[in-house]
Amino acid sequence: MTETFEMPGDQAARISADFIDKSVWIFDLDNTLYPAHSNLFAQVDYRMGSFVSEFLDIDRVEARKIQKKYYREYGTTMNGLMTCHNLDPHLYLDYVHNIDLSPISQDAALNDALACLPGRKLILTNGSVKHAENVAGKLGILHHFDDIFDIVAADFIPKPARSTYEKFLAKAGIDPQSAAMFEDLAQNLEVPHALGMKTILVCSPPQLRDEKTDMYNGVDGDADHVHHVTEHLSDFLELILQHMPVRS
């Protein structure tokens, strides 16, 4: 059953108890480690459309349709272009991640929370390592992560494919029962839940959601495979830590 972030009284104790046996913390990157309403990923989305338009020599209206079609059918626009048009994925990744990072800045609260989390912290993203390093570096939190598993490491097979999670777990040597997964897309939490992870959906407050921030799928916090929902990642991590015993 999904448990929402806004709960009175002994909320922190209940949440801490739910994560007492977790020692691995897995984070998606875009719209998870930074707020979706910063619209940073909207830049990536716009550049996806520009790339499709130029690569296929079509106007932006048609490119947008193809971009969304490939996302739905192949998991990512890039995967669709690779499958249907023999795209060199490295050219695409370099192009779409060439964005302005000024909408985000160092996140002191998130930095402190990550510093206190016991165990390993990793990033699992459908983006590139370079993009993850740039974003996490701008947030001032890159040093907390033991590894970044990106779309290249996944052989360009994006989440939510089960094989990608299994490859990630095998490479990192992770027992999924010991892990918690933070994601902004509910569909990307189905496999982690099935594998035994604790799942947390990170979403924007309702008043800050729009077509861009909920671009690819709705916020489905009522799904059985979502254990917790939070609108504030650092606050949620602090709740986990409040009643968690100090580990030597």
Whole-angstrom CA distances from 213 to 146, 164, 165, 174 are 28, 25, 25, 31
Same domain? 139 vs 195: yes
Q: What is the pLDDT of residues 89-148, one digit of tens each?
A: 999 999 999 999 999 999 999 999 999 999 999 999 999 999 999 999 999 999 999 999
Q: Which residue among 96, 127, 143 closes a domain?
A: 96
Report which residue type is found at 100.
D
**Cα–Cα distance measured from residue 240 to residue 14, given in angstroms and rounded to the nearest whole number:** 9
**Cα–Cα distance measured from residue 49 to residue 63, given in angstroms and rounded to the nearest whole number:** 6
Residue 65 lies in a domain: yes
**Host domain of residue 190:** 11-38+105-242
With helix as H, strand as E and coil as C, how does 64-101 read? HHHHHHHHHHHCCHHHHHHHHHCCCHHHHHHHHCCCCC
In this prediction, residue 210 has a pLDDT band, given cuts at 50, 70 and 90, of low
Same domain? 133 vs 227: yes
Q: What is the pLDDT of residues 7-47, one digit of tens each?
A: 445 777 788 888 999 999 999 999 999 999 898 999 999 99
Same domain? 81 vs 125: no
**Cα–Cα distance measured from residue 75 to residue 69, given in angstroms and rounded to the nearest whole number:** 10
Residue 215 lies in a domain: yes
Prediction pTM value? 0.89
What are the contacts of 161-164 at 24+ separation with CB within 8 A?
161/75, 161/191, 162/191, 162/194
Same domain? 18 vs 137: yes
